[in-house]
């Protein structure tokens, strides 16, 4: 009888471990690594961050979601910190395993925007760590592993001239070349004194 009870407990624990979610604490306060802003007139607005995760070969392609809301973008405060509560890695149901992580950050003056559309953006290096393990069926508060953020992301400026600016530059260049060509042609035709034949009686 005691053997049967022990076996049931062991099987129950195994089931819970399989169903446990891979979780992370979505903040940089626990490790005291603030997001350092980019010092440039271009970097106007608010910094937003997303944590990307994956398993194996250092792939980081899955945005970590805030538990309960599915939110993946978090705003950085004036002191360089963000706090998204507890996050879960979608598609990875076995908590406690090693995961690969990367933080991406970008500036936006008009709301969250998108990373690849930002003029100023950056990423951290990829790092690996163990995820937390939380089983919703146990009824305990959600917890996650501390986010071992290695350093602030290195921001870079990505800017391209606006299409209108490029078009106007091309038109202006063509107009200048045309004007110079016409001026040279006109000058060639009028070069030297004009001689007029005069008949005498």
Assigned domain for 162 exists: no
Element of type H or E holding 148:
none
Taking the alpha carbons of 130, 131, 136, 139 in that order, is the dihedral positive or negative? Answer: positive
pLDDT at residue 140, as a whole number = 86
Please indicate, yes or no, if residue 108 is contained in any of the structural domains. Answer: yes
Please check whether residue 13 lies inside any domain of the structure.
Answer: yes
Domain count along the chain: 1
Average pLDDT, the chain: 77
How large is the average pLDDT for residues 60-85? 95
- Tell me what percent of the residues of the chain surpass a pLDDT of 70: 67
Confidence of residue 43 (pLDDT cuts 50, 70, 90): confident
In this prediction, residues 131-145 reach a mean pLDDT of 89
Residue 78: inside a domain: yes
Residue 12 lies in a domain: yes
Alpha carbon distance 17, 163 (integer Å) = 55
Kindly report the backbone phi and psi dihedral angles of residue 88, in degrees, each rounded to the nearest multiple of 5, phi listed first: -125, 145
Residue 32 lies in a domain: yes
Burial string for 129-162 (b: 16+ CB within 10 Å, else e) reads bebbbbbeeeeeebebbebebeebbebeeeeeee
pLDDT digit string, tens, across residues 147-183: 999 999 999 998 754 444 434 344 444 444 444 554 4
Global confidence as pTM? 0.69
Dump pLDDT digits (tens) for 10-22. Answer: 334 333 344 688 9
- Is 187 part of a structural domain of the chain? no
The domain of 147 spans: 2-157
Residue 87 lies in a domain: yes
């Amino acid at each position: 009888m005691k053997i049967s009870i022990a076996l049931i407990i062991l099987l129950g624990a195994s089931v819970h471990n399989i169903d446990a979610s891979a979780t992370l604490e979505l903040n940089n306060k626990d490790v005291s690594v603030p997001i350092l802003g980019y010092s440039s007139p271009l970097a106007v607005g608010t910094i937003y961050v997303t944590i990307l995760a994956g398993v194996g070969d250092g792939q980081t392609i899955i945005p970590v979601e805030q538990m309960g809301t599915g939110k993946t973008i978090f705003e950085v405060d004036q002191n360089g910190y963000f706090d998204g509560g507890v996050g879960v890695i979608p598609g990875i149901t076995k908590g406690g395993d090693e995961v690969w992580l990367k933080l991406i950050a970008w500036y936006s003056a008009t709301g969250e925007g998108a990373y690849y559309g930002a003029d100023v953006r950056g990423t951290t290096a990829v790092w690996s760590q163990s995820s937390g393990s939380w089983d919703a069926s146990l009824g305990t508060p959600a917890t996650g592993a501390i986010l071992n953020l290695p350093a602030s992301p290195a921001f870079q400026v990505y800017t391209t001239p606006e299409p209108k600016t490029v078009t106007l530059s091309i038109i202006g260049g063509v107009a200048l070349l045309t004007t110079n060509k016409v001026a040279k042609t006109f000058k060639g035709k009028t070069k030297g004194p004009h001689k007029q034949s005069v008949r005498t009686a």
